[in-house]
């Protein structure tokens, strides 16, 4: 792995762990095994590094998420999609925490990002839910866009804070690990608050 990629990897991890302001350039350089001025040769400033970390995260999401969401729309397999979506965040909690942190730290910038990358998919999902409502498959009082936003919030935030929840949501022999319980209940809530009963029951 070349140095640039190593810098991005360590920066992602440290920004997710400690936040942008809580992480020094020095600390990232040490994690990579180089000196601070060497890092600043690859990325001209700490801010430029942050932008590259975010761009990489977005690129990864754009490569994977469309497939998940299209699967949902074409196959009407909402369960499988929700499970994939949840596992997509669980698989790399750093990304979920980074996303949440940036939304808190730079709401203005995140607004622009959401408009560009998330809104089209929420819109598309909204249209499909609207049609499913007309066919009686989906509960009539659903607000499709708001529903999508709440479910995504639950998936992202739930993943970001999962490690703090072990006290409240301990591993359970009958129900599985903390993560499993979180994922299962997230999916159950999302499904059971969406479909009409005849469709929602197994």
| Whole-number Cα distances in Å, 90 to 51, 80, 149 | 23, 15, 18
Instruction: Please report the sign of the dihedral spanned by the C-alpha atoms of residue 50, residue 56, residue 59, residue 61.
Output: negative
62 binds, among a second copy, DNA, none (CB under 5 to 8 A by kind): none
**Interface with a second copy (CB under 8 A):** 18-22, 97, 100-101, 103-105, 107, 110-111, 114-115, 118-119, 122, 139, 141-143, 145-147, 149-151, 153-154, 156-158, 160-161, 163-169, 175, 181-182, 184-186, 188-190, 192-193, 197
Q: What's the min distance (Å) between Cβ of 190 and a second copy? A: 8
Q: How far is the CB of 1 from a second copy (least distance, A)?
A: 27
Q: Which is nearer to a second copy, 87 or 105 (CB)?
A: 105
Instruction: Choose between 37 and 173: whose C-beta lies nearer to DNA.
Output: 37
3-state secondary structure of 161: coil
Chain-centroid distance, C-alpha 38: 32
Pull the structure tokens for residue 182. Answer: 């979180």
Minimum Å gap between C-beta 34 and a second copy is 24
DSSP state of 117: I
Q: In whole angstroms, what is the distance from residue 128 CA to residue 165 CA?
A: 34
Residue 6 or 93 having the CB closest to a second copy? 93
């Amino acid at each position: 792995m070349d140095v640039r990629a190593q810098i991005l990897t360590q920066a992602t991890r440290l920004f997710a762990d400690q936040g942008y302001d809580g992480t020094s350039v020095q600390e990232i350089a040490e994690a990579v095994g180089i000196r601070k001025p060497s890092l600043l040769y690859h990325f001209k400033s700490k801010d430029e590094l942050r932008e590259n970390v975010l761009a990489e995260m977005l690129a990864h999401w754009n490569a994977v998420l469309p497939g998940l969401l299209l699967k949902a729309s074409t196959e009407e397999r909402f369960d499988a999609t929700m499970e994939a979506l949840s596992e997509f965040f669980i698989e790399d909690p750093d990304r979920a925490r980074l996303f949440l942190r940036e939304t808190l730290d730079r709401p203005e910038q995140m607004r622009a990002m959401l408009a560009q990358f998330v809104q089209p998919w929420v819109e598309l999902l909204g249209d499909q839910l609207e049609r499913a409502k007309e066919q009686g498959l989906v509960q009539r009082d659903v607000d499709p866009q708001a529903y999508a936003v709440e479910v995504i919030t639950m998936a992202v935030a739930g993943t970001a804070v999962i490690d703090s929840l072990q006290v409240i949501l301990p591993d359970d022999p009958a129900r599985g690990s903390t993560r499993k319980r979180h994922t299962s209940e997230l999916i159950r809530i999302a499904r059971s608050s969406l479909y009409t009963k005849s469709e929602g029951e197994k």
